[in-house]
A and B are shown apart, each in its own frame.
Chain A
Amino acid sequence: MSPLEESPEEQHTIRRVALVGNPNVGKSVLFNALTGSYVTVSNYPGTSVEVSRGHVSITGKSWQVIDTPGMYAIHTITEEERVAREILLNEQPDVVLHVLDARNLERMLSMTIQLIEAGLPVVLIVNIMDEAERMGLSFDLTLLQKRLGIPVIAAATAHKRGIEEIKTAIAEFGQSCGLPISYSRLLEADINQVSRLIQKEYVISHRSLSLLLLQGDEEISGIISKKEDEEVYRIIEQNVREIAFERRESFHLNLSMERKEMVSKLLKGVIALPEKQRKTWGERLSNLTMRPLTGIPILLITLYFGLYKFVGSFGAGTLVDLLEGKLFEGLFNPWISKLVNGLIPWWWLQELLVGEYGVITLGIRYAVGIILPIVTTFFIFFSILEDGGYLPRLAMMVDRLFKWFGLSGRAVIPMVLGFGCTTMATMVTRTLETVRERTIATLLLALAIPCSAQLGVILALLAPTPSALLVWIGCMTFIFVVIGILTGRLMPGEAPMFYMELPPMRMPQLSNVITKTYTRLLWYFLEILPLFILASVILWLGKITNSFEKIVNGMVPLMHSIGLPKDVAPAFILGFFRRDYGAAGLYDMQSKGLLDARQLTVAAVTLTLFVPCVAQFLMMQKERGWKIALSIFFFVTTIAFSTGYLLNQLLIATNLLG
């Protein structure tokens, strides 16, 4: 009800369309086709946890289109599902488009029944018809429309099929009420007993509310307790409790079975199955990626070419050389320095813009010259994996392994994304099922996963000394595994469970890859560019006021204890602003020949483990709260410097790196 009170005007003038349905049925693609704007299109259930809105104009009237996160049933379990239902409850869309996958009509139609039962204005979109037809399925949707009593439209939104029909259906939507739904006598009696007690009017029907109450939906009981009189609610609650107790054996199961029965009756004569199923190339590839014998080599090849060759060599090597080396250092920086120094007479302003820590010469150079090519190539790689449907397969491959760390295979997605940007990955941990998993994943991301920018710089830094690189990789893996196993053991809470839909593999589509990469890059830049500039300004302030010197001097004992010269201290301070910023500082120092192999390795290891950047810290605080964010901060700092200390001692004792 709240949006009603907040903006009564908007409520009356704007017509709304909400897209609902399971994950991976093409909601986002339909959304894009209707509105023409950008959103993330994803195979991984969860990345569209944020709600996208857009506008479509049909025969001169404007409609707001809302793309909701995937939901399996109107009785919600996960956070995404709750968000989706909240939109239905709070925003009261004028038309609800239930999008489902034609191939799984039988499984997904149950939700259509629930939406109709809730009294929502439903239009059914049977999507992905092209692939269903290719599999040899055929449908009689006119018959289904007649039986359901709501508009049913065949579509293949990826190929723009059915878009015009959908637009017409939205514009011409009348108050069709759908078929009357009735269950067995027993269940009907239960529903009646509750629904006749509900007095006030709600967005969804009393029947639907009663069923949700009986399913133990806390959110719904919260809404009802607020709206009804106290006495009325008490009686409702009491009745619900009695029925729930009486049917405790199998209420959920019976309800699902009755709906299943209903669906198979509705679909009698609607679907014709092919004689024989054909195996598509996608299925064959899918099998290969999932069998350990072929799957692990495929994974390694993917990582080698994707991460090492494409992101590492091409992005962090060729492109960075070109942009940072040739363009910035060679051309742009000398030119802008000359220009600024000629135009501006004040020393402090020259320093701010083009000095050692200048906003342009340092901030913009790092952001555009080093970080941009690395994250762009990484996001392209990640988007290709995502659009092709590889990520869920990766998740199932590593599930057993991840269980050691108290995580489910699902957590591999934020982990891999973390190699791109740990801040973004920290945000994505919210798609994990339990708070425990989210906390463990957040900790591991903060500690042992270097982001692509940092990774790129560190690879460049250590590549000349392969043994140093090996020590670094060894250290990171060791810390990741040890801390992972320890938290998995020590952290209280229930063991994670793993389940995941495996959407069919398909050829990644260029337009999707571009859209996804672009959306991520945009987010990334809006998030980091201000921080780069802020960091430059703070460093500049530190330099001209000499307070920077003091902090650096304060850190000298700490640096010495891990065997590093005091010149490294600024890199650590920088590192808190951006991890890669710190690593890039080391890079500068190494090119000047200030560090030997041992010092370089210790510095790289400590810096990688060391605190997440400001943005990641803020994201941790936002997602997990102050208590956990601060605990992780101190924990990570302690681990980083102790590891640095031990590693330094070890390297000195063994003389491993000379």
Chain B
Amino acid sequence: MKLSEQAEDIIERLWIEVEEDGGPFLDPETMFIKPDAESIKELTRNALAELKNGMLYLRAEGREVGRMTVRRHRLAERLMMDVLNLRGETGQMKVCQFEHLLTEGVDTKICTMLNHPTTCPHGKPIPPGECCIEARRSGDLGVVPLTEFKSGQEGEIAYIQTEDNKKMQKLMAMGVLPGNRIVLVQSFPSYIFRVGFSEFAIDTALAKEIFVRRIQP
């Protein structure tokens, strides 16, 4: 079942109204939508919601769909803010367009890339998906900055995130290249890591820019 964009927006709002804010129903008029709109019919036809006296009620069947829609919206927010650095009104507008693309596994990929975030930029919880539960169960930390490693932990370099080209080149010259094995030897007073048979010391600022994936022993 693929809902229209407007129907997704409505069930998203409905879910937040009922599940998060504890209200009994959603008044479609607050979204400037008439009770007899096509998108509302789409929801009732699919048995996700019920329309009584012009008010929209969430049905048990609609709960999961609503939850996942909210999840996609908040993941999109995180992506806009954290990775693409789009904020304010333009950011919010893009989020509203973008969230509808996050279906069929794209959300899982983005969620993993963002390392299973638990809250949106506004502090609201992001409903966990299967990938999040799986990650938590297996204790997989996903991709984290080197600063999050414990001494002695081994990982694979996932990517370098820096805006400074010179820093990037310096790190690459030290053998910090995606795919290389890296061992964190020590984290205080400076970070010491080993790549190949060489050891390097770097400060916290640089260590934060090296993103590593933990290798399961």
Contacts and interface: CB of A to CB of B under 8 A. Distances in A.
Interface string B162-184: 00011111111111011110000
A135 interface: yes
Interface in B13-47: none
Contact of B169 (A75, A392, A396, A399): A75
B87 to A, nearest CB: 21
A606 B210 CA distance: 47
A582 interface: no
B206 interface: yes
A396 B188 CA distance: 9
- Name A's interface SS: helix
Contacts of B167: 497
Contacts of A501: 174, 198-200
A257 interface: yes
A106 interface: yes
B169 to A, nearest CB: 6
Interface stretch (B93-101, B128-136, B189-197): B189-197
Contact of A253 (B166, B170, B172, B206): B172
B173 A497 contact: no
B160 interface: yes
A400 B189 contact: yes
B201 A498 contact: yes
Contact of A292 (B160, B179, B188): B188
A395 B203 CA distance: 11
A253 B178 contact: yes
Contact of B177 (A103, A260, A400, A403): A260
Contacts of A272: none
Contacts of A107: 175, 195-196, 198
Contacts, number: 99
A499 B178 contact: no
Contact of A216 (B165, B179, B180, B188): B165
A408 B202 CA distance: 10
A253 B172 CA distance: 8
B60 interface: no
B186 interface: yes
Contacts of A291: 186
A397 B189 CA distance: 6
A499 B206 contact: yes
Nearest to A504: B199
Given A107-B198, A292-B189, A409-B190, A498 B203 contact: yes
Given A72-B173, A103-B197, A104-B197, A399 B178 contact: no
B1 interface: no
Interface in A184-238: 216
Interface string A386-398: 0000001001111
Nearest to B201: A396
Interface residues of A, number: 38
B189 A77 contact: no
A215 to B, nearest CB: 8
A256 interface: yes
A290 interface: yes
A497 B206 contact: yes
A502 interface: yes
A534 interface: no
A264 to B, nearest CB: 9
A256 B185 CA distance: 25
A399 B172 contact: no
Given A290-B186, A397-B189, A499-B206, A104 B198 contact: yes
Contacts of A399: 189-190, 201, 203
Nearest to B190: A396
A252 B165 contact: yes
Interface residues of B, number: 33
Given A291-B186, A409-B190, A498 B177 contact: no
A500 B189 contact: no
A408 B190 CA distance: 11
Q: Pick the most buried of B160, B186, B201: most chain A CB atoms within 10 A of its CB.
A: B201
A253 B201 contact: no
Contacts of A495: 205
Nearest to A408: B203
A216 B185 CA distance: 34
Contacts of A75: 169
A73 interface: yes
Nearest to A131: B197
B201 A256 contact: no
Nearest to B175: A107
B178 A502 contact: no
A77 B170 contact: yes
B192 A497 contact: no
A75 B172 CA distance: 12
The interface centre, meaning the residue of B177, B188, B190, B200 with most chain A CB atoms within 10 A of its CB, is B190
B60 to A, nearest CB: 46
A256 B177 CA distance: 8
A80 to B, nearest CB: 13
Given A73-B169, A75-B169, A502 B205 contact: no
Interface centre among B170, B185, B189 (most CB of A within 10 A): B189
A613 to B, nearest CB: 34
A287 B183 CA distance: 14
B190 A400 contact: yes
Contact of A396 (B168, B173, B189, B198): B189
Contact of A502 (B160, B165, B179, B201): B201
B201 A392 contact: yes
Given A75-B169, A260-B179, A502-B200, A396 B192 contact: yes
Contacts of B195: 107
A153 B188 CA distance: 40
Nearest to A264: B179
Contacts of B188: 292
Nearest to A72: B173
A292 B186 CA distance: 11
Nearest to A498: B203
A117 B80 CA distance: 41
A292 B190 CA distance: 10
A586 B172 CA distance: 54
Interface in A627-655: none
A499 B165 contact: no
28 contacts: A73-B169, A77-B166, A77-B170, A77-B173, A106-B196, A107-B175, A107-B195, A135-B197, A252-B172, A253-B168, A256-B172, A260-B180, A286-B199, A287-B185, A290-B192, A292-B189, A395-B201, A396-B201, A409-B201, A495-B205, A497-B167, A499-B171, A499-B174, A499-B200, A499-B203, A500-B202, A501-B200, A502-B198
Given A253-B160, A256-B177, A260-B179, 13 more contacts: A77-B169, A104-B196, A252-B165, A252-B169, A252-B172, A287-B186, A399-B189, A403-B203, A409-B190, A409-B203, A499-B201, A499-B203, A502-B199
Interface of A: 72-73, 75, 77, 101, 103-104, 106-107, 135, 216, 252-253, 256-257, 260, 286-287, 290-292, 392, 395-400, 403, 408-409, 495, 497-502
